[in-house]
Amino acid sequence: MKPLGKILRRDLWHLRGQVLAAALVVCCGVTAQVSMHSAYLSLQATQASYYDSYRFADVFASLKRAPEGLADEIRALPGVAQVQTRVVAEVTLDVPGLNEPATGRLVSIPEQQSAMINDFYLRRGRYIEAVHPDEVLLSEVFAQANHLDVGDRIGAILNGRWRELTVVGIALSPEYVYEVGQGMLFPDNKRFGVLWMGREALASAYNMQGAFNDVSLTLAPQGFNKGAEEAEVIASLDRLLLRYGGLSAYPRRDQLSTRFLNDELGEIEVSATYIPAIFLAVAVFLIYIVLSRLVVMQRTQIGLLKAFGYSNFSVGMHYLKFALATVLLGLLPGLLLGLYLGGQVTNLYRDYFHFPVLALVVSPAVLFWATLVNLLAACAGAIAAARRVTALVPAEAMRPEAPANFRAGILERSGVARWMSSSVRMIVRNIVRKPWKALLSVMGIGVAVGLMMVARFMFDAVDHMMMVQFDVVQRDNVTVLFHEPRAAKAVFEIDQLPGVLRAEPFRVVQVRLRHGHRSKQIALTGLASDSELHQIVDSRLRKIALPPDGLLLTKKLGEMLGVATGDTVMLEVLEGNREVREVTVAGLSDEPIGISAYMDAGALARLLREDHLISGAWLRVDPRHEEELYAHLKRMPVVSGVAIRSAMVNSVKEIIDTAFSYVSVIEMLFGAIIIGGMVYNSVRIALSERGNELASLRVLGFTQREVVVLLLGEQALLTICAIPVGLAMGYGMCAALVPIFDRELFRLPLVFSQMTFVYPVIAALISAILSALLVTRRLRHLDLIAVLKTRE
């Protein structure tokens, strides 16, 4: 081995603690980078191939009812490739072993299996047979959640008639990768599921023979300008479906499951960029400070090597190799850990996103980039430090370094220093002497505190979202939806059910709101102005009175339409006689989930020119009679869907607890490693720089404890400064995330629980204290005698 190689090996061994700390930070960064990028790629690649292989449609529309012949007209539209018409119906299910009624979406499939748009993957069992109209295929997640399998039976009310459906197969579809019902944010797989049923069987149950109420199509692949073509097809489709009660057609990206999936992909992309970047920056800093110190300690050796004729380059390379070795030490386990964790994250995704196969994609490109970026980081840290090497003149280098330069500064001139004890003065002056290093330390620890805060903030935001949506806005225990609008007196029927304490009717109607060139299809809810079970609130959660006339829109919807209070919008009813009216926006409300529009029930009835029809009811239920109520609701022919708040909330909480805790534990751990690495390295360097000073003090009669205070004081002060800085940075990072999560589906509120501030602070302090203590052990072995003889 060459002499420099030996020196390198010894240096690495000698500084193993600091090398390890820096390597650990690199390891975390690489782990984060590889795992998130791999998970991202896995999800993205799987999505693309799934959509492609199973011919997922490009455009979707639902309508009231159209004759099958219309399909040919749709097929004839320019730009359309394939068309699939279906019958889709939502029904109440009586699932064995489940007390509450569940909601099933029945989707028609041809009696004879053939390749089709929106095809599905049959996991187990067989295809339905035309001779058995009650045979269905069941979505895999719903089956899993309810422990159902091929051969099991499910009760269902199809168009008012009780039917017993037989599960013959378990299937998955690209349409339901994320399987949630309309208006739901998190999946509740126990209570919402998709069932595929023979077209004839389903059509005859709903009097839809020779007709359809759902259409999807694929676009011809030739167009240059796919966006424009798609918009044109959608517009033509809307025109065709207008007469048949068509709701706005929408492109694939607006399809619910796709949107969730794309949103998630967007989120990983953001996290996969900024989290590794933080680690990279910290790693560069750590390598820089370790190397800078090494260069100072080895100035004699550097001088000697240069005197012997080693070039600046070869000596500089020596330190670069040191940095590269440090990074490699973290890189290799980081790559492996990243792949492992990427697999774990992909596993977690399996709970939400359902593909026939979702396996980790091990991409050489991801590994390559992670390696390259981190090696470049090593070079950056090394080059910054190695500049000192080239600056050293051999003769000068071989002389000991002059005593650390301190001069009177602001502290002394202002007289503040006089009021400090000697130890405080030493600590403060050491910080003031190297302000940039201090600043970077503070920023490094701060950003880690921020990272931990972001991890906690996600919990808070979702908690708050749920609280606002389900405690403040939706105050009902159970929501019941009817098949079709019913006379107002239907609510009395519901009111009579066991356990119902209060029943409030509401009317929901699909409308399109237009303002200028912007338009949005939305479910407009008409409710009583004195509603107790549904409250409309402003951003400070104060109740907003429902105006006697005009619309109340949620803020997000207002933004999307570009309207403010007092503006007018065109309201087009997408049902019945399709009234089109100009309506005033009477106010904006604030809800974290979804987008809504409200109107006074009376005003809505006048607008629709109908006599107080209702679409469903919100119920307050006596918990003692819940089960009895559920048993009734399961069998009520008029009911098409039942939403149970507690079940939904619990299901969400379960999801948050499993997925979010996993991620947040890792983020907390990573944050703690950054802090540990920063503090450990800073203290080790302080010990190296000031070991002599501290040993002198021990000789002069200072106790172990007094010397520890001097050593750790500086870092303690920096850590304490870093905490408010970190909390501020964390606040900033969360605030930066809020616009990213400002979506139609949900909006993260910028709210924090106390614990979100407390946890990172505690974790930072514990991590700082533990790593500092690791160094102070070394103080006990300070060589007091050597100090009498050696010169720094």
Q: Closest Cα to residue 683, out of 731, 723, 715?
A: 715
Structure tokens that stand for 737 in this block? 């995330």
Q: Residue 424 CB, nearest distance to other proteins (Å)?
A: 11
Q: Closest Cα to residue 268, out of 458, 32, 45?
A: 32
d(CA 143, CA 163): 18
Looking at beta carbons only, is 113 or 790 nearer to other proteins? 790
At residue 99, the 3 state secondary structure works out as coil
Q: Are 680 and 777 a contacting pair, CB within 8 Å? A: no
Looking at beta carbons only, is 565 or 692 nearer to other proteins? 692
d(CA 7, CA 13): 10
- Site residue total, other proteins (CB under 8 A): 35
Among 222, 414, 421, 754, contact with other proteins (rule: CB under 8 A): 421
Looking at beta carbons only, is 263 or 412 nearer to other proteins? 412
Residue 416 as a binder of other proteins (CB under 8 A): the answer is no
DSSP 471: I
Per-residue binding string, other proteins, 370-409, x by CB under 8 A, is --------------------------------xxxxxxx-
Looking at beta carbons only, is 308 or 436 nearer to other proteins? 436
Looking at beta carbons only, is 160 or 400 nearer to other proteins? 400
Q: Residue 790 CB, nearest distance to other proteins (Å)?
A: 7
Residue 114 as a binder of other proteins (CB under 8 A): the answer is no
Among 207, 222, 225, 422, contact with other proteins (rule: CB under 8 A): 422
Q: β-strands 59-67, 211-219: how paired?
A: antiparallel
Q: β-strands 597-600, 518-527: how paired?
A: parallel
Segment contacting other proteins by CB under 8 A, of 347-355, 380-388, 418-426, 579-587: 418-426
d(CA 441, CA 498): 65
Q: Residue 745 CB, nearest distance to other proteins (Å)?
A: 57
Q: Residue 717 CB, nearest distance to other proteins (Å)?
A: 14
Among 289, 358, 426, 527, contact with other proteins (rule: CB under 8 A): 426
Residue 313 as a binder of other proteins (CB under 8 A): the answer is no
Per-residue binding string, other proteins, 646-685, x by CB under 8 A, is ----------------------------------------
- What does the CA dihedral 261, 267, 270, 272 come to, rounded to 10 degrees? -80
b/e sequence 773-782, b meaning 16+ C-beta within 10 Å = ebbbeebeeb
Judged on CB neighbours under 10 Å (0-12, 13-18, 19+), 553 is: buried
Taking each helix axis from N to C end, the angle separating 435-467 and 704-740, rounded to the nearest 10 degrees, works out to 50
Residue 778 as a binder of other proteins (CB under 8 A): the answer is no
Segment contacting other proteins by CB under 8 A, of 57-65, 121-129, 674-682, 700-708: 700-708
Q: Are 515 and 563 a contacting pair, CB within 8 Å? A: yes
Residue 429 as a binder of other proteins (CB under 8 A): the answer is yes
Q: Residue 711 CB, nearest distance to other proteins (Å)?
A: 13
Q: Residue 749 CB, nearest distance to other proteins (Å)?
A: 48
- Residue 736 CB partners (closer than 8 Å, separation 6+): none
Q: Are 595 and 589 a contacting pair, CB within 8 Å? A: no
Among 692, 751, 769, 778, contact with other proteins (rule: CB under 8 A): 692
Segment contacting other proteins by CB under 8 A, of 54-62, 67-75, 192-200, 779-787: 779-787
Q: Residue 261 CB, nearest distance to other proteins (Å)?
A: 58
d(CA 103, CA 156): 9
Among 555, 612, 625, 698, contact with other proteins (rule: CB under 8 A): 698
At residue 208, the 3 state secondary structure works out as coil
H or E stretch at 597: strand 597-600
Q: Residue 391 CB, nearest distance to other proteins (Å)?
A: 20
Per-residue binding string, other proteins, 462-491, x by CB under 8 A, is ------------------------------
Residue 788 as a binder of other proteins (CB under 8 A): the answer is yes
Looking at beta carbons only, is 422 or 754 nearer to other proteins? 422
Give me the half-sphere count of Cα atoms (radius 13 Å) on the Cβ side of residue 150. 11
Q: Residue 689 CB, nearest distance to other proteins (Å)?
A: 10
Q: Footprint of other proteins on residues 712-731 (CB under 8 A)? A: none
- What does the CA dihedral 187, 193, 196, 201 come to, rounded to 10 degrees? -140
b/e sequence 577-593, b meaning 16+ C-beta within 10 Å = eeeeeebebbbbbbbbb
DSSP sequence for 358-397: ------HHHHHHHHHHHHHHHHHHHHHHHHHHHH--HHHH
Segment contacting other proteins by CB under 8 A, of 202-210, 427-435, 564-572, 760-768: 427-435
Among 76, 307, 416, 699, contact with other proteins (rule: CB under 8 A): 699
Q: Footprint of other proteins on residues 738-767 (CB under 8 A)? A: none
For binding to other proteins (CB under 8 A), which residues are involved? 402-408, 412, 421-422, 425-426, 429-430, 433, 692-693, 696-704, 706, 784-785, 787-792
